[in-house]
């Protein structure tokens, strides 16, 4: 199956700083990628849809100025958490659709801890 | 508003047992129903998926049963093993390359 990578796998930062998370489709092109957030022992919640060459679409309640998404190429989407606060600490996971009907491939996730 | 309801929240079975996890959806536009397995600290991995034009699909030890009229689907794990201990999520999406809506998850523990 298709492979999606994320970098870094974990990051610790101080409150008020910004953190960038990369999501790459390794062996296929993805004009669309999705960013999810997962709090401990909870389900995955969609944050935004990343679209190559256009603006991202954010879900209701997600601050677009705080969570900046850039889909720079057909294989790379980045999520930047700006002015991070402890409540932003979470597991961030990206996914990309494959070639077959609706299938999606998930990255390994990035654990963000804001001190 | 939660659009995919999953139960039970947790499940303990003995090795060799057949755990069953159930999901129900509300949005009739959904037409793709995958199940994902997630281990702690890892991203979800696709196990098996079904479309509403079939009522059952088997892949290895995993079976999906689908009831379109009831808007319900379930995952059965045959001959469960301790290595199957993980959190399982059902999900759904409408046609096209759309984001998934996930159920709340089921923590499965398979005892040796």
CA angle B31, A2, B105 (to 5 degrees): 50
Domain residues for B36? 4-111
**Based on the structure, what is the number of domains in chain B?**
1
Chain A residue set in contact with B, beta carbons under 8 Å: 1, 4, 6, 32, 34, 42-46, 49, 91, 93, 95, 97, 101-109, 111
Distance of alpha carbon A113 from the chain centroid: 15
In this predicted model, what pLDDT tens digit does every residue of A25-81 receive, in sequence order?
Answer: 998 888 899 999 999 999 999 999 999 888 999 999 999 999 999 998 999 999 999
What sections of chain A are H helices per DSSP? Answer: none
Given a contact cutoff of 8 angstroms between Cβ atoms, the answer to whether A114 and A94 are in contact is no
A103, two tokens: 């299938």
**Chain A residue nearest residue B43, CA to CA:** A108
B58 — contact with chain A (CB < 8 Å)?
A: no
In this predicted model, what pLDDT tens digit does every residue of B7-41 receive, in sequence order?
Answer: 999 999 999 999 999 999 999 999 999 999 999 99
Q: How many CB pairs under 8 A join A and B?
A: 57
Please compute the mean of the pLDDT values over residues B77-95 and round it to a whole number: 95
In this predicted model, what pLDDT tens digit does every residue of A2-30 receive, in sequence order?
Answer: 899 999 999 999 999 999 999 999 988 88
Q: Which of A6, A30, A1, A34 is nearest to A19 (CA)?
A: A6
In this predicted model, what pLDDT tens digit does every residue of B40-51 receive, in sequence order?
Answer: 999 999 999 999
What was the pLDDT predicted at A1? 66
CATH of the domain at B17: 2.60.40.10
Q: Which of B74, B43, B8 is nearest to A36 (CA)?
A: B43
Residue A88: strand, helix, or coil: helix
């Amino acid at each position: 199956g298709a492979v999606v990578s994320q970098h870094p796998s974990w990051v610790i930062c101080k409150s008020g700083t910004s953190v960038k998370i990369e999501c790459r489709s390794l062996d296929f092109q993805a004009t669309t990628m999705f960013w999810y957030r997962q709090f401990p022992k909870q389900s995955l919640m969609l944050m935004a849809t990343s679209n190559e060459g256009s603006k991202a679409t954010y879900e209701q309640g997600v601050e677009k100025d705080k969570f900046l998404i850039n889909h720079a190429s057909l294989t790379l989407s980045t999520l930047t958490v700006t002015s991070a606060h402890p409540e932003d600490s979470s597991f961030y996971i990206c996914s990309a659709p494959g070639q077959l009907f609706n299938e999606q491939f998930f990255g390994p996730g990035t654990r963000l801890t804001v001190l | 508003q939660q659009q995919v309801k999953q139960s039970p929240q947790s499940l303990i079975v003995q090795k060799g047992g057949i755990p069953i996890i159930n999901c129900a959806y509300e949005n009739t536009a959904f037409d793709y129903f995958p199940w994902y397995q997630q281990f702690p600290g890892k991203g979800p991995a696709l196990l098996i998926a079904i479309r509403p034009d079939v009522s059952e699909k088997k892949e290895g030890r995993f079976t999906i049963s689908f009831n379109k009229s009831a808007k319900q689907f379930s995952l059965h794990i045959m001959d469960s093993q301790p290595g199957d201990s993980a959190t399982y999520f059902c999900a759904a999406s409408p046609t096209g390359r759309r984001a998934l809506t996930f159920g709340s998850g089921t923590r499965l523990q398979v005892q040796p």
